[in-house]
Amino acid sequence: MIAEYFCPADLDHAVTLLAGRPCTILAGGTDLYPATKAQSLTGSVLDLAGIRELRGIDRKAGGWRIGAGTTWTDVLRADLPTAFDGLKQAAREVGAVQIQNAGTVAGNLCNASPAADGVPPLLTLDASVELISAQGIRVLPLSEFLIGPRHTALGAGELVSAILVPATSGAGYSNFSKLGARRHLVISIVMVAGRFVMEGDRLTTARIAVGSCSATARRLVKLEETLVTTAGPPSTALVADCVAKTLDPIDDVRGSAAYRADAAVALVARMMAKAYQ
Amino acid sequence: MSLDTNAPFLSVNGQAINIGDAPLRRLSDVLREECGLRGTKVGCDAGDCGACTVLVDGEAMCSCLMPVARAVGAEITTVEGLDNSIGERLKAAFLHHGAAQCGICTPGMLISAVALLQRVAAPSEAEVESALAGVLCRCTGYRKIIAAVCDAGRPVAPVVMPEAGHAVGARVERLDGQRKVDGTDVFGADEWPDGALVVRAIRSPHHHARFSFGNLEEWRPEGCAGVWTAADVPGVNRFGVIPPFADQPMLAEEVARFRGEAVALVAFDDGCEESDLSDFPIIWDPLPDVLDEAAGIGAADLHNGRAGNILTQGFVQQGDVETALAGATHTAKATIQTSYVEHAYIEPEAGVAWMDGDMLVVQTCTQAPVMDRDDTAALLGLAPEKVRIIPTATGGGFGSKLDVSLHPLIGLVALKTGRAARMVYTRTESMQSTTKRHPATMTATIGTDAEGRIIGMDFTGDFNTGAYASWGPTVANRVPVHASGPYRTPHYRALGRAIHTNGPVSGAFRGFGVPQAAIMQETLYDKLAEAAGMDRLAFRRLNAYRDGDTTCTGQMIQKVGIVECLDALKPHWEAALDEGAPDGLVRGVGVASCWYGCGNTSLPNPSTIRVGVRPDGQVVLHQGASDIGQGSNTVITQICADAAGLPLKAFELIGPDTAITPDAGKTSASRQTYVTGKAAELAGRALRAAVLRHANAGNGARLRLDGGSVIVEDGGDVRRIALNGLPANAFGYVFMGEETYNPPVTPLDENGQGTPYAVYGWGAQMVVLDVDEALGTVHLRRIVAAHDVGRAINPMLAEGQIEGGIAQGIGLALMEEYLPGRTENLHDYLIPSIGDVPPIESILIEKPDPEGPFGARGLGEHVLIPTAPAILNAIRHATGAEIRKLPALPHRVHAAIAAVRGQ
């Protein structure tokens, strides 16, 4: 019942603590508290709030480092190139301002909801996840970090220290759209994110990811490959074919599987039409 | 944010507060329980509703999601700390615009707005929407909140109260408003005696299951003060709002009939209430269940004596519907299904009970204190006069807080232990265990002649009333009376049935089934207008009731305002039909009407109002009409003041405490302004008559209060009555008026013929929307609502009812679907957010009702009825798609569009 509370001031201390005992890792708290009806978290909890180095977005030679304590509001206020516009648009759709002020990007990944707002835009940024433990650091592509609903590759004794975006992903522009049954505070039925680099009237880079339509958000790789080898927007048939072969939507209270597939096609086709405008 | 757990002090509103030794407690819990700052409300404990929003170093945060340790070193501001100029201006703007109704979301709204106003002094509507998007409101429809925040830069102006005789019709600010914006209003969870036990319920995880207990004597977690089951219920373990149908146990006996039904109670000493209940000794044996009305009919009977699971039925018939429909030029027929709808007030049920000598006192949020008293007394084996209900402020009700919920549960614990016992439902517990709007499966055929005149309607509706009766009989009876809509229907047959299932108990929800029936009739009307080649508004006007018409129950009606409402929409309608949609969207315009009888259907439902003058000159109104946000504290007082001829500001209110205030009935059926208002009018006049009699003055005399005297001015004659020299009556008043009013209605015969209501209200709404056909999404652009209120006692509060009712109609139409076991929280169950309610133009029609006080009619439920059908009609107008299963979620709209395209 009584919580064991750790609030280390640095990462070294945190991983040492984690090596000694299983701990619930507390980042923004926006998923942990809703999961309990109790007025306090229980068990051993490791709070990341005291680790200053985890908060904020750094631009380094190799790319961007989004610290694990970075909130959605931090993302919105950060000076980032247009390639991050999709991530910022997603940030505005994570709950409302209260959740954006508390919830972290890394926590959104660790919670591993199929409807995690942050995942599609981060997939289009070729993001990877940095994991730290007493044994050292490892880096996994985001698509490998996310295994399934509520399931990640996070090992015992590990915590996510940062999300890494390579410098090459800073090119182009990006966007994000979320389809839900109400305007705010909604879990998406379908999400679509894209990042595009256009040279003249040709796409040289295309990244397209769809969320809430499979166990984890997925990129439409075949569509991306076709787009950079052909001119002009893709046919709806091609988009539909890629959606059908890549995604695996389900029926739930928010929508039917068939609807999700159709809506994903419509949203991707719309995004592509805009990209070529 | 700095963090130093060695300094366990919080800085809240500039004061240092020790946080104790629980760093991971929710900040909301510490603020409320340790700091006593109960202006911070808790509606969900999940970050879904935003009621608990506080400022942390100027940023809005959900305090329910924040470990208190995180708040150390930061400056926390709660609603109690909004005493700076921004806060005071904002609060004044909230009162001026009527932006607070029940007040439970108000602190969260104010705090969120301050976070914005500190950055942007004069925000746009879009900025306000974005800043407030994290806070849900179920009462206001948000529009007045947006207006208030946009207007918060205005200096605070002194509030001018109307002079004597001018209260009715004035846009008076809520008389109970200041405490709502200050965060000091006391709701169900906000007050309890020290040392009160905390009660928790063990509830069924199954829709239907037999259960047996293990060794309850041995199961005693730390701090457990006792365990109680049905075997401990001292009275008759059956309750229900309609005594002949009372069937619901406060604690189930052997079989639980729905998921969330309480089977046992556990009480804990304060501080031990979070004990793990997962090892509670109970064995569940699941039984087959049925969850929808179609399956309920003919399934194994849930209750003895209710064959086929048919609880009851209502029937209205006039003329010869079969012959009429056979001879109709145009007919339209359809079947429509609606879903369970949750009331989703932001205040979950909460209260405290204690013994005062041999009197059981229950202090809780409620819509119906006297019914609560009687049900609680019967369950606990007490005489009604040995139970006292003290209503708190009620953070929304909408019908669900008519039935008892935790009253008998905490009452039993107080009775058994002699100790005070409190309980606060979790959001999930509230959603699982309290009543819902009835899901309905309705089929109807309507026929017209060649000119588009309705000649007949045949309606059948099965309403899923869930595991117990609650208000199922009321729905079954009210629907057949109303299913024609406010239209002449000479040949008519309507059958409404209430069907038992293992779903949650369906009860009262703003309209008692009429909103569902209106969807049926109004969507068929659009098809008939089209078949007859008529404009849809003109079709409705042609068929609308006129003065002197006879309804389907054979009642002649006068002062009928529906034509006036439809005519008021006409310029808006014509303008909207000429508009196009933005690129990629299709525009639709829809209209629907309503009528609604105010008060109980063919049953007595009296209200009594007492108003007196104390020897010190204070005027005291025993205002027994529970104010659940709709404004009865203000409206009833306005009526009484003008009837008495005294200034509004002279009145002090005493609430509907059953020990000191006469019964003004329940807040339901849109009856308080009309029925209690009429009693208040009569009582005010009686008070005035008593004073005039004493002064031997004529009816035209003016009354003035001057300290401890009443001054009576009758022509040139001025008399001063010194009150402290007069004898006070048993209630302590030197002058008093107490009057009862009961609407003149008659029973319905076997064909539903009679006078079910003495007063009806009328209305029509039109919706302008765009549909994204590829996605099936609906974008509301604006709504115009015209309602005949007879007399707008308080136009601002009337608009507030309209906007709030429309918001709930939007939810019914587009997003709300309660699925037991699947949408038991406020992120899977969606109610409209601040971005889902478009601009609303309210048009108040005032065609005085001959029966209502100062001509007033009821309004509270009417306002919700036309919204959903108007939306569905606009979707069809835009796309051709007909929605046959509500809510019209994007996937359903998308499928309906595909169906009409033949895909």
Instruction: Say if B426 is an interface residue toward chain A (CB within 8 Å).
Output: yes
Question: Does residue B14 register a pLDDT over 80?
Answer: yes
- CB spacing of B833 vs A263 below 8 angstroms: no
Question: Does residue A75 register a pLDDT over 50?
Answer: yes
Instruction: Say if B130 is an interface residue toward chain A (CB within 8 Å).
Output: yes
Both tokens of B131, joined, read 């800043």
- CB spacing of A255 vs B890 below 8 angstroms: yes
- CB spacing of B62 vs A102 below 8 angstroms: yes
Instruction: Say if B895 is an interface residue toward chain A (CB within 8 Å).
Output: yes
3-state secondary structure of A63: strand
Instruction: Give the pLDDT confidence score for residue A1 in this predicted structure.
Output: 46
Q: Taking the alpha carbons of B557, B558, B559, B562 in that order, is the dihedral positive or negative? A: positive
Instruction: Give the pLDDT confidence score for residue B6 in this predicted structure.
Output: 54
Report how many Cβ contacts below 8 Å link chain A to chain B. Answer: 169
- CB spacing of B775 vs A179 below 8 angstroms: yes
- CB spacing of A181 vs B889 below 8 angstroms: yes
Tell me which chain B residue has its CA closest to the CA of residue A180: B890
CA distances from B258 to A22, A112, B115, B207, B308 (A): 39, 32, 43, 4, 18
**Tens of pLDDT, residues B657-694:** 999 999 999 999 999 999 999 999 999 999 999 999 99
What residues of A are in contact with residue B890 (Cβ under 8 Å)?
A: 179, 181, 189, 255, 259, 263
> How many CA within 13 A on the CB side of residue B293?
25
What residues of A are in contact with residue B5 (Cβ under 8 Å)?
A: 5, 7
Whole-number mean pLDDT of chain A?
A: 96
- CB spacing of B834 vs A33 below 8 angstroms: no
Instruction: Give the pLDDT confidence score for residue A2 in this predicted structure.
Output: 59
Both tokens of A51, joined, read 């680790």
Tally of CB atoms within 10 A around A60: 9
Give DSSP secondary structure letters for B379-420.
HHT--GGGEEEEE-B-S--TTGGGS-SSHHHHHHHHHHHSS-
Question: Does residue B5 register a pLDDT over 60?
Answer: no
- CB spacing of B53 vs A98 below 8 angstroms: yes
Q: How far is B819 from chain A (nearest CA, A)?
A: 8
How many Å apart are CA A159 and CA A145, to the nearest integer?
A: 12
How many Å apart are CA B256 and CA B205, to the nearest integer?
A: 9
Q: Whose structure tokens read 């919706």?
A: B767
What residues of A are in contact with residue B775 (Cβ under 8 Å)?
A: 179, 263, 266-267
- H helices within B726-856, ranges in order? 795-814
- CB spacing of A259 vs B776 below 8 angstroms: yes
Instruction: Say if B428 is an interface residue toward chain A (CB within 8 Å).
Output: yes
How many Å apart are CA B351 and CA B348, to the nearest integer?
A: 10
Q: How far is A120 from chain B (nearest CA, A)?
A: 19
Instruction: Give the pLDDT confidence score for residue B201 in this predicted structure.
Output: 98
- Beta-ladder partners of B782: B768
- Residue B796 near residue B171 (C-beta atoms within 8 A): yes
Tell me which chain A residue has its CA closest to the CA of residue B109: A98
Instruction: Tell me which residue in B5, B29, B276 faces A7 most closely, judged by beta carbons.
Output: B5
Question: Does residue B35 register a pLDDT over 80?
Answer: yes
3-state secondary structure of B555: coil
Question: Does residue B2 register a pLDDT over 90?
Answer: no
Q: How do the domains of chain A map onto residue ranges?
A: 171-275
The mean pLDDT value for B220-225 works out to 95
Instruction: Tell me which residue in B25, B59, B133 faces A101 most closely, judged by beta carbons.
Output: B59
φ, ψ dihedrals at A243, nearest 5°: -60, -45
3-state secondary structure of B520: helix
- CB spacing of A179 vs B819 below 8 angstroms: no
Helices then strands (H, E): number in chain B?
21, 33
Instruction: Say if B54 is an interface residue toward chain A (CB within 8 Å).
Output: no
CA distances from B214 to B249, B280, B282, B284, B340 (A): 21, 8, 6, 11, 35
Q: Whose structure tokens read 């007919």?
A: B331
Whole-number mean pLDDT of chain B?
A: 97
CA distances from B351 to B207, B405, B411 (A): 27, 10, 10
Q: Which residues 771-830 in chain B show a CB within 8 A of chain A?
A: 774-777, 814-815, 817, 819, 822-823, 827-828, 830
**Tens of pLDDT, residues B530-552:** 999 999 999 999 999 999 999 99
- Residue B670 near residue B761 (C-beta atoms within 8 A): yes
The answer regarding whether domain A171-275 maps to CATH 3.30.390.50 reads: yes
Taken as a whole, chain A contains a residue count of 277
- Residue B374 near residue B403 (C-beta atoms within 8 A): no
Instruction: Give the pLDDT confidence score for residue B7 in this predicted structure.
Output: 52
- CB spacing of B46 vs A256 below 8 angstroms: no
- CB spacing of B45 vs A34 below 8 angstroms: yes
Instruction: Give the pLDDT confidence score for residue B127 in this predicted structure.
Output: 98
Phi-psi region of B448 (alpha: psi -120 to 50; beta: other; left: phi over 0): beta
Question: Does residue B393 register a pLDDT over 90?
Answer: yes
DSSP class of residue A52? G
The mean pLDDT value for B827-838 works out to 98
Please report the domains of chain B, with CATH numbers, ordered by start residue.
Answer: 9-81 (3.10.20.30), 85-159 (1.10.150.120), 197-289+349-424 (3.30.365.10), 436-600+750-900 (3.30.365.10), 607-741 (3.30.365.10)
Both tokens of B394, joined, read 């009620």
Instruction: Give the pLDDT confidence score for residue A127 in this predicted structure.
Output: 98
Question: Which pLDDT band, with edges at 50, 70 and 90, does B1 fall under?
Answer: very low
DSSP class of residue B317? E
- CB spacing of A102 vs B823 below 8 angstroms: no
Which one of B24, B268, B827 makes the best mutation probe of the A interface by having the most chain A beta carbons within 10 Å? Answer: B24
Q: Cis peptide leading into B384, omega within 30 of 0?
A: no
Q: Which residues 748-777 in chain B show a CB within 8 A of chain A?
A: 774-777
Both tokens of B613, joined, read 């003058």
Sorted by sequence, the CB contacts under 8 Å of residue B472 that are 6+ apart come out as B245, B311, B312, B438, B463, B465, B466, B498, B506, B507
- CB spacing of B24 vs A28 below 8 angstroms: no
Instruction: Say if B57 is an interface residue toward chain A (CB within 8 Å).
Output: no
Instruction: Say if B285 is an interface residue toward chain A (CB within 8 Å).
Output: no
What residues of B are in contact with residue A33 (Cβ under 8 Å)?
A: 26, 45-47, 64-65
How many Å apart are CA B622 and CA B631, to the nearest integer?
A: 15
How many Å apart are CA B280 and CA B220, to the nearest integer?
A: 9
What residues of B are in contact with residue A4 (Cβ under 8 Å)?
A: none
**Tens of pLDDT, residues B353-382:** 999 999 999 999 999 999 999 999 999 999
The secondary element (H helix, E strand) that includes residue B291 is: none
Instruction: Give the pLDDT confidence score for residue A46 in this predicted structure.
Output: 97
Question: Which pLDDT band, with edges at 50, 70 and 90, does B156 fall under?
Answer: confident
Instruction: Say if B45 is an interface residue toward chain A (CB within 8 Å).
Output: yes
- Residue B77 near residue B59 (C-beta atoms within 8 A): no
Helices then strands (H, E): number in chain A?
10, 14
Question: Does residue B555 register a pLDDT over 80?
Answer: yes
Instruction: Tell me which residue in A26, A182, A259 faces B67 most closely, judged by beta carbons.
Output: A26
Instruction: Say if B277 is an interface residue toward chain A (CB within 8 Å).
Output: no
**Tens of pLDDT, residues B750-803:** 999 999 999 999 999 999 999 999 999 999 999 999 999 999 999 999 999 999
**Tens of pLDDT, residues B697-739:** 999 999 999 989 999 999 899 999 999 999 999 999 999 999 9
Instruction: Give the pLDDT confidence score for residue B12 in this predicted structure.
Output: 96
Instruction: Tell me which residue in B48, B830, B835 faces A181 most closely, judged by beta carbons.
Output: B830
Sorted by sequence, the CB contacts under 8 Å of residue B230 that are 6+ apart come out as B237, B249, B250, B251, B252, B253, B263
Question: Does residue B313 register a pLDDT over 70?
Answer: yes
Instruction: Say if B557 is an interface residue toward chain A (CB within 8 Å).
Output: no
Instruction: Tell me which residue in A30, A39, A73 faces B26 most closely, judged by beta carbons.
Output: A39
ipTM above 0.95, yes or no: yes
What residues of A are in contact with residue B773 (Cβ under 8 Å)?
A: none
Q: How far is B875 from chain A (nearest CA, A)?
A: 15
Both tokens of B454, joined, read 């309705």
**Pairing of β A202-211 and β A218-219:** antiparallel
CA distances from B162 to B98, B323, B638, B653, B708 (A): 17, 58, 9, 17, 21
Instruction: Say if B26 is an interface residue toward chain A (CB within 8 Å).
Output: yes
Give DSSP secondary structure letters for B634-701.
HHHHHHHHHHHT--GGGEEEE---TTTS-----S-TT-IIIIIHHHHHHHHHHHHHHHHHHHT--TT-
Question: Which pLDDT band, with edges at 50, 70 and 90, does B903 fall under?
Answer: low
How many Å apart are CA B93 and CA B96, to the nearest integer?
A: 5
How many Å apart are CA B488 and CA A265, to the nearest integer?
A: 48
Instruction: Give the pLDDT confidence score for residue B481 in this predicted structure.
Output: 98
Q: Whose structure tokens read 């001026």?
A: B96
C-alpha B112, offset from chain centre: 24
Q: How far is B670 from chain A (nearest CA, A)?
A: 29
**Tens of pLDDT, residues A78-135:** 999 999 999 999 999 999 999 999 999 999 999 999 999 999 999 999 999 999 999 9
